[in-house]
């Protein structure tokens, strides 16, 4: 998981380079800084924004291989999309990925994906609403991802997003093929199992038995035990197994 550090700008800067509060937080937009100069990392971009960017521009996060620096809270309507008062500026959270030549670009992209996933979960934003800056204005941004020449493509970025989880411990790789590791949406039970009140599947945590049958159950998201075993967090607040012997995608 990427380390997030806040370096929030002052109110006077919010007044100068944003449209203020009221961001609808329905989208996440991915950018690249296009600044390959050495030391043009997340910290430097965070300081640039906190010091009062001379350009009429603003964005929520800058990410490099080391960390994500947050400059604005999510409720601020930043000027990053180039679409005026459209959804890009008014209803999106913006992430800039650093491309400084003394940084590790691929690791920065991975960190950006981890950050995007965290925001998706915090703000309930679906994967198809994670878009490129290009989506809003036609600008060639994020340019490296769009060209794919640096070894990361947009499809690849989205694939990372699907895999990122909120815990750092990976599941046991020897059993991973037997488990859902991406959100299955709805499931059916194919072998009687239990719903639990926590990720720890001990007898004392059992809520109710669920029999095999045609009923579809809605999955909210996948969480993990401390040991890294994935669990389905259900819409009703209980936890179920992700084991494909017991449940299947509906
Ligand atoms: Zn951009």
Instruction: State pLDDT tens for residues 67-125.
Output: 999 999 999 999 999 999 999 999 999 999 999 999 999 999 999 999 999 999 888 88
Question: Poorest-confidence range of 106-115, 222-231, 240-249?
Answer: 222-231
The CATH number given to whatever domain includes residue 54 is 3.40.80.10
Domain coverage including residue 243: 176-249
pLDDT at 177: 56
Residues 151 and 183 in one domain: no
Residues 209 and 144 in one domain: no
Domain-embedded: residue 240 = yes
Domain-embedded: residue 89 = yes
Mean pLDDT of the 192-218 span: 91
Whether the predicted pLDDT of 13 surpasses 90: yes
Mean pLDDT of the 126-146 span: 96
Domain-embedded: residue 171 = no
3-state SS of the chain is CCCEEECCCCHHHHHHHEEEECCCCCEEEEEECCCCCCCCCHHHHHHHHHCCCCCCCCCCEEECCCCEEECCCCCEEECCCCCCCCHHHHCEEEEEECCCCCCCHHHHHHHHHHHHHHHHHHHCCCHHHEEECHHHHCCCCCHHHHHCCCCCCHHHHHHHHHHCCCCCCCCCCCCHHHECCCCCCEEEECCCEEEECCCCCCHHHEEEEECCCCCCEEEEEEEECCCCCEEEEECCCCEEECECCCEEEC
- Spacing, Cα 153 to ligand 1 middle (Å): 16
- Spacing, Cα 86 to ligand 1 middle (Å): 15
pLDDT at 170: 40
Final residue of a structural domain among 140, 163, 186:
163
pLDDT at 169: 37
The CATH number given to whatever domain includes residue 220 is 2.30.30
- Spacing, Cα 130 to ligand 1 middle (Å): 13
In percent, the amount of the chain with pLDDT more than 70 equals 93
- Spacing, Cα 178 to ligand 1 middle (Å): 39
- Spacing, Cα 134 to ligand 1 middle (Å): 7
Domain-embedded: residue 38 = yes
- Spacing, Cα 59 to ligand 1 middle (Å): 9
Total domains in the fold of the chain: 2
């Amino acid at each position: 998981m990427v380390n997030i550090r806040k370096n929030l700008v002052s109110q006077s800067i919010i007044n100068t380079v944003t449209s203020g509060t009221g961001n609808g937080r329905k989208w996440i937009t991915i950018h690249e800084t296009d600044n390959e100069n050495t030391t043009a990392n997340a910290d430097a971009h965070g300081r640039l924004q906190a010091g009062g960017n001379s350009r009429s521009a603003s964005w929520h996060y800058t990410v490099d291989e080391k960390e994500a620096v947050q400059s604005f809270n999510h409720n601020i309507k930043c000027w990053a999309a180039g679409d005026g008062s459209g959804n890009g500026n008014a209803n999106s959270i913006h992430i800039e990925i650093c491309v400084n030549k003394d940084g590790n670009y691929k690791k920065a992209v991975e960190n950006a994906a981890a950050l995007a996933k965290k925001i998706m979960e915090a703000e309930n934003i679906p994967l198809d609403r994670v878009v490129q800056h290009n989506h809003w204005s036609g600008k060639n941004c994020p340019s490296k991802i769009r060209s794919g020449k640096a070894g990361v493509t947009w499809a690849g970025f989205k694939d990372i997003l699907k895999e990122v989880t909120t815990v750092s411990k990976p599941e046991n790789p020897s059993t991973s093929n037997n488990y859902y590791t991406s959100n299955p949406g709805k499931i059916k039970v194919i072998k009687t199992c239990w719903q639990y009140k926590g990720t720890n599947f001990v007898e004392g945590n059992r809520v109710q038995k669920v029999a095999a049958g045609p009923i579809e159950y809605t999955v909210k998201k996948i969480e993990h035990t401390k040991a890294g075993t994935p669990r389905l967090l259900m819409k009703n607040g209980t936890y179920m197994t992700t084991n494909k012997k017991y449940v299947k995608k509906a």
